[in-house]
Chains A and B, each alone.
Chain A
Amino acid sequence: RKEVEQDPGPFNVPEGATVAFNCTYSNSASQSFFWYRQDCRKEPKLLMSVYSSGNEDGRFTAQLNRASQYISLLIRDSKLSDSATYLCVVNGGSYIPTFGRGTSLIVHP
């Protein structure tokens, strides 16, 4: 099993849709979790950290399920500008953050 797995997509959704991505991880000792956004040919940028109790930032909600070892990202009321690749990052308490391959989202008019 890969350390961090994401469905590569692409997820192709209309504007206004709600879309959810999951990211599974194999190291049960993992302690820190993040979602990053990467636009085409640009660097990754932090979207949000993922806290044990779940957290929300505007249209974005992140959840952590330790029992099933996955994190999720929910995007409500999708905008065209949300089109990007979404990377999950899991830190297992070492110096090595592990990135998923990313999930591609395309929001169309």
Chain B
Amino acid sequence: ETGVTQTPRHLVMGMTNKKSLKCEQHLGHNAMYWYKQSAKKPLELMFVYSLEERVENNSVPSRFSPECPNSSHLFLHLHTLQPEDSALYLCASSQDPSGVYEQYFGPGTRLTVT
């Protein structure tokens, strides 16, 4: 498999559930990102990882917890979410986190919180 993959593609969860989103990149990149995309809003950067180390946490509520066990995998653990957290969650990777290089996005997980 090539590129950036994400699972699941769709997720419906209640506010008391705990779930995890998974992202895997097959590009040999050193940086990985989580973004949130809500309707009619620009992409919001949530987290940036460089070689498994978190380098940016963009004021994200603690109910979102990222994990990067190695440079190819990224998780987003979700617990006690709110309905306003319903959105498309996109994972991306790039050669490094400097911003010089383009990002490659996964297909996203469409999350609905009920």
Chain A interface residue number, banded = 20 to 34
Known contacts A31-B100, A92-B99, A99 near B105 by CB under 8 Å: no
A87: chain B residues within 8 A (beta carbon): 42-43
Pick from B45, B50, B55, B90: contact of A97, CB below 8 A: B45
B104 & A95 in contact (Cβ 8 Å cutoff): no
Which residue in chain A gives the minimum CB-CB distance to B106? A43
Cβ of B97 under 8 Å from chain A = yes
**Cβ contact within 8 Å between A42 and B99:** no
Roughly how many angstroms separate A46 CA and B103 CA in the complex, as a whole number?
A: 7
Residue on A nearest B58 in the bound complex, by CB: A96
Cβ contacts under 8 Å, B58 to chain A: 96
Supposing A42-B107, A43-B105, A44-B105 touch, asked if A94 and B42 sit within 8 A by C-beta, the answer is: no
- List residues 35-58 of chain A with CB under 8 A from any CB of chain B: 41-46, 49
- Among A41, A93, A99, contact of B43 (Cβ-Cβ < 8 Å): A99
Nearest chain B CB to A15's CB is how many angstroms away? 27
Most chain B CB neighbours (cut-off 10 Å) among A43, A87, A102: A43
| Cα–Cα, bound, A32→B56 (Å) | 18
Q: Does A91 touch B at the CB level, under 8 Å?
A: yes
A4 to B45 alpha-carbon distance, docked (Å): 14
A101 lies within 8 A of chain B by Cβ: yes
A24 → B minimal CB distance (Å): 14
Give residues 73-114 of B contacting A (CB, 8 Å): 88, 90, 97-100, 102-108, 110
Q: Which of B32-48 contact A (CB under 8 A)?
A: 40-43, 45, 48
Listed in ascending order, the chain A residues whose CB lies under 8 Å from chain B are: 4, 31-32, 34, 41-46, 49, 87, 89, 91-97, 99-102
